Chain A
Amino acid sequence: MADELTVEQVADAMYNMIKSAMGEKKLKPMDLQKAMIEHFGADRCDKKLCKEAIKSLIDSSRCVYTYFGGSFIEIPHEEGAAKG
């Protein structure tokens, strides 16, 4: 068994993924989950851990939920719809 993965490690990896996709692609929780399980391997990372990681990103305000037809997870940014 590989060494134990923490919620924070997964959250950080998610955060980096969201950051590098910013402006290119909006990510849904399921996109993050699939990517994390692939990245860390199913033996180390499961759905529950991903769910906790998303919770931690949102509750710490590092990320926010957004809505454009469907719900996405993004890094807080200047509200595009509010102005202009």
Chain B
Amino acid sequence: MANGQTPKLDKLDKGPWPSFVREIKRAAEKSPMSKDLLGLLELSYTEKIGHWKHGGIVGVLGYGGGVIGRYTDVPDKFPNVEHFHTMRINMPTGWFYTSKALRTICDIWEKHGSGLTNMHGSTGDIVLLGTRTEELEPIFSELTKEGFDLGGSGSDVRTPSACVGPARCEWACYDTLALCYDLTMTYQDELHRPAFPYKFKFKCAGCPNDCVASVARADMSIIGTWRDDIQVDQSAVKEYSDKGLNIQKDVCGNCPAKCMDWDGQKLDIDNRSCTRCMHCINAMPKALRPGKDRGACIMLGSKAPIVEGAQLSSVLIPFMKMEPPYQELKDLCEKIWDLWCEEGKSRERVGEFIKRVGMGNFLEAIDIEPSPYQVAYPRDNPYIFYEEYFEEGDDEEEAGEE
């Protein structure tokens, strides 16, 4: 409320748990923007109406992304949040910072913005909440002086993100950090100058555990995997068993492919049937590890429910080696973008585009051979059209229908 009282928000600030209200109140001690933010939110809670307008012309010169415009529709009541733009900053790959880097960002933000951050939003980038239009260029120049750049927003490549990968994790099947950095640098134009029908996200996960949730959140999910056999240390398996792990029930029994067998002495894996789900490896990390012939599975098409419902990525290329300069992956991306940019509708994610035109047509247009791995849902019918199953007459009938 304009009188500075926030009885509704105060209720969210009771109890021992962390509360965004408490954090904004702390920021409000120094920042008039944060103070008005509280008032505006209280007003929304009272009236049950949102008071943010979004979009517009905000940005820094040359960039079409990175700044998300926000204005309130009640600037007379809350003049300090008349403008309240969000800036997306490209995070260091794998989210590794020095404390000095964090202080640098926060100092810049306290000087020019509300002081509120949302570290690593859902996209993964550093999200700085609330500044005025005229502050954008000064912030941008201070950030770039310190080596930071804006991330993506709008219809462009979004800030690519990666799990910590080989930096901290023994399961990484490729160098997620190197790939993420390379994609970020290679696609500077695509990141900063929106030219797509809609957003395009890359997320690099080192193994099927998918700690960046790329399968649900990236238009292109690049998930580490292996081609050969799971490495097994039989004596370590025995040790797990001796220490009380019920291998038959809790490891073999939960294998989705039912391709494991434990006879009390030896673990037998039919690697041809294994779906590389990581379950057994997660269950017995000392005994099992991914194979040695490693790379990534390229999946396409996930998105959150904005225009249509939520979608998960599905397999496009079952296995690709992931080594610099990643030419095969980049050639693939460019083919996909060419097609989607040419034929995609406005605000149509690539996954929706594939659904509309059909996977078969999509594959043909980007020159990829259909494969049984390209299923719509695991353990479901492949949606590939197998021409060899058709009799000669069928072809003509098809042609006649057109």
Check A66–B193 contact: CB distance below 8 A: no
Q: Is B83 an interface residue (CB 8 A)?
A: yes
Is A23's beta carbon under 8 Å from chain B? no
Q: Which of B68, B69, B155, B193 contacts A58 (CB 8 A)?
A: B193
Contacts of B61 in A (CB 8 A): 58-59, 61
Across the interface, which residues of A come within 8 angstroms of B63, CB to CB? Answer: 65
Known contacts A28-B155, A71-B65, A79 near B56 by CB under 8 Å: yes
Residues of B contacting A: mostly: loop
Decide yes or no whether B206 CB sits under 8 A from chain A. no
Q: Which of B110-118, B194-202, B311-319 contacts A (4 or more CB under 8 A)?
A: B194-202
Given A30-B341, A65-B154, CB of A55 within 8 Å of CB of B346 = no
Give A52-67 as 1s and 0s: 1 = Cβ < 8 Å from B's Cβ atoms.
0011001101001111
Least Cβ–Cβ distance between A33 and chain B, in angstroms: 8
The answer to whether A30 touches B195 (Cβ under 8 A) is: yes
Measured between beta carbons, the chain B residues less than 8 angstroms from A30 are 195-197, 341-342
Given contacts A67-B154, A71-B155, A82-B71, contact A29 B194 (CB under 8 A): yes
A81: contacting residue among B56, B341, B342, B346, CB under 8 A = B56
A residues within 8 A CB of B197? 28, 30, 70
A-B pairs with CB below 8 Å: how many? 80
Q: Are B341 and A64 in contact (CB under 8 A)?
A: no
Contacting pair A81 B54 (CB below 8 A) = yes
Q: Which of A54, A70, A76 contacts B154 (CB 8 A)?
A: A70
Closest B residue to A47 by beta carbon equals B338
Give min CB distance, A72 to chain B, whole Å.
9
- Contacting residues, chain A, for B189 (C-beta < 8 A): 51
What CA separation (Å) do A74 and B64 show in the bound complex? Answer: 11
Chain B interfacial residues counted at CB < 8 A: 33
The reply to whether A71 and B194 contact each other, CB–CB distance below 8 Å, is yes
Q: How far is the CB of A26 from chain B (nearest CB, A)?
A: 9
Q: Which residue of A lies closest to B64 (CB)?
A: A65
Q: B225 contacts the other chain (Cβ, under 8 Å)? A: no
The dominant DSSP class at the A interface is mixed
Is there contact, CB below 8 Å, between A71 and B57?
A: no
Q: With A67-B69, A70-B154, A70-B155 in contact, do A81 and B53 touch (Cβ < 8 Å)?
A: yes
Q: Chain A residue with minimal CB distance to B155?
A: A71
Contact call A54/B193, Cβ cutoff below 8 A: yes
Are B55 and A54 in contact, with the CB atoms below 8 A? Answer: no
Query: A58 and B62: CB pair below 8 A?
Result: yes
Q: How does the 8 Å CB contact mask read for B111-138 relative to A, with 1 for contact and 0 for none?
A: 0000000000000000000000100000
Confirm or deny: B175 has a beta carbon within 8 angstroms of a beta carbon on chain A. Answer: no
* Bound-complex Cα distance A67 to B194 (A): 10
Q: Which residues of B contact A66 (CB under 8 A)?
A: 55-57
| Smallest beta-carbon distance B255→chain A, Å | 44
Question: Which residues of the other chain, B, contact A81 by a CB distance below 8 angstroms?
Answer: 53-56, 69, 71
Please, how many angstroms separate the alpha-carbon atoms of A61 and B63 in the complex?
A: 11
Interface residues of B in 73-95 (CB under 8 A from A): 82-83
Q: A80 contacts B154, CB within 8 Å?
A: no
- Are B347 and A69 in touch, CB under 8 angstroms? yes
CB distance from A30 to the nearest CB of B (A): 6
Q: CB within 8 Å of B: which residues of A?
A: 28-30, 51, 54-55, 58-59, 61, 64-71, 74, 76-77, 79-82
Which 3 interchain pairs have the tightest Cβ spacing? A65-B64, A71-B194, A71-B154
Given contacts A66-B55, A67-B153, A70-B197, 4 further A-B contacts (CB under 8 A): A51-B189, A65-B64, A65-B194, A81-B55
Cross-chain pairs A/B with CB under 8 angstroms, 17 sampled: A29-B193, A29-B194, A30-B196, A51-B195, A58-B62, A58-B193, A59-B62, A61-B61, A65-B65, A67-B64, A70-B198, A71-B155, A80-B56, A81-B55, A81-B69, A81-B71, A82-B133
